[in-house]
Amino acid sequence: MTMKLSLLGSPDMRQAILDAVREGISVRSALLSIGFSEMVIKDWQRTVAAGTWRGSETPCAPEKLEIMRDFLEQLNQARHEHVANMVRVLNRAANSVNEKTGIPEWRAALAMLTNSPFSRGEWHQYRPEEAQPVVEEAQSLRQLSDDEVISLAGDEWREVLTLPGVETP
């Protein structure tokens, strides 16, 4: 189903999307579940940025722009509210222990934070293959002498490392 311009002003439709996102449902799924195209948000973002509808020369009506701008701000806030709620759940659970198992109840919130498209950048767990270049670089540095490491350091570090009283290994 393609979104019609008349639906932009529907408070019920916008609220349904915001409520779903606050619960942790992806924007894409929230849109598709009520019959909106998944491109709606991108269209709205481009329209708000350009002031014209779908990259055309036709200006978008100011009242429609305001509806889209407000909704996009509310959508961003809803995403942040969900993440903040998951952090609160994680904090509460990390301080409580399951009486039967003796294990803190933090796994569900952590899984949401590490897997949500919105928060996984901040809460991403590095896999061994992602850390390998860092390990290889550290191993290369260990093979250098202290003088070679100091020569590779930037000017401000070289200055600090050569101050009287600073002992280097």
- Domains of the chain, residue spans: 5-123, 128-161
> 94 or 143: whose pLDDT is higher?
143
**pTM summary value:** 0.59
Q: Is the pLDDT of residue 9 over 70?
A: no
72's enclosing H/E stretch is helix 62-94
d(CA 90, CA 47): 37
Does residue 6 have a pLDDT over 70?
no
- In the predicted structure, residue 59 carries a pLDDT above the cut 80: yes
* Average pLDDT for 107-129: 76
H/E element, 100: none
Q: Which residue has the higher pLDDT, 143 or 128?
A: 143
Helix (H, G, I), strand (E, B) or coil at 59: strand
CA distances from 24 to 30, 84, 115, 164 (A): 10, 11, 11, 56
